[in-house]
Amino acid sequence: MATQLDHRKAPRRRGEALESAIYDATLAELREVGYLNLSLERVAQRARTGNASLYRRWPSRAELVIDAISHAVPEHEELPDTGSVRGDLLALLRLACARQAGPAGEVMRGVIAESLGNERVHAARARLADYRTGQVLEVLRRGADRGEVRPEAVVPAVASVGPMLVMSAFLLRGEPASDETVTEIVDQVLLPLVARR
């Protein structure tokens, strides 16, 4: 039987090296056991660190998971560039649906449930929503530069509409929006909202 590693005898890691090991361990645990079965104790064991290192920074698994996912996403993820605002919006919302179909979907359902009544988790979850809204905002900016989008429509409130409708469909139906629904969101809601009149 393999002996369990004692993190106290390993070289001490701090700062970014320790954070990176914790994030890697969190993502590995998510892949293996899913969000509902993830525990901070098992993450600490996999990262070869003490439980206190995790609990000091992440009092809940939701906060840790959100930070781990944010860390894994490239800071400047390449946006779709199809040459039209319609094509870019379709590509971006289809990407969101594809992610919902994988482990990220299970994570989002769990995080939303845990964020009820927990301001820290709610604030962490809002960061993920802001990230997607920021991507749509950039697509709208490019559309405005090409003359497809009204400049006054390039605001966060408008940019959040598409991602929120896709997320709402996912939460209500328990599965990602169909391609037909995504196309309706873009053609019947977003384009009339942003197009030059």
- The tens digit of pLDDT for each residue in 57-85 reads 898 888 888 888 777 766 556 788 999 99
pLDDT at 32: 85
Work out the mean pLDDT of the chain and round it to a whole number: 84
pLDDT, one tens digit per residue, over 119-166 is 777 776 777 778 889 999 999 999 999 999 999 999 999 999 999 999
Token pair, residue 65, equals 């998971």
Q: Domain check: are 94 and 27 in the same one?
A: no
Longest dimension (CA), the chain: 71
Token pair, residue 69, equals 């996912």
Q: Domain check: are 99 and 34 in the same one?
A: no
* Phi, psi angles (nearest 5°) of residue 35: -70, -45
Residue 138 lies in a domain: yes
Q: How confident is the model at residue 14 (pLDDT cuts 50, 70, 90)?
A: low
Give me the domain span that covers residue 42.
7-60
Residue 68 lies in a domain: no
pLDDT at 1: 41
* pTM score, whole prediction: 0.73
Q: How confident is the model at residue 177 (pLDDT cuts 50, 70, 90)?
A: very high
Number of domains in the chain: 2
Residue 67 lies in a domain: no
State the average pLDDT over residues 49-53.
89
Enter the DSSP assignment of 49.
S
Q: Give Cα separations from 15 to 22, 24, 41, 113 (angstroms).
A: 11, 14, 19, 30
pLDDT, one tens digit per residue, over 22-41 is 999 988 888 888 888 889 99
pLDDT at 163: 93
Q: Domain check: are 92 and 25 in the same one?
A: no
Q: Domain check: are 55 and 77 in the same one?
A: no
Token pair, residue 62, equals 């939701």
Q: Domain check: are 43 and 84 in the same one?
A: no
pLDDT at 162: 96
pLDDT at 12: 53
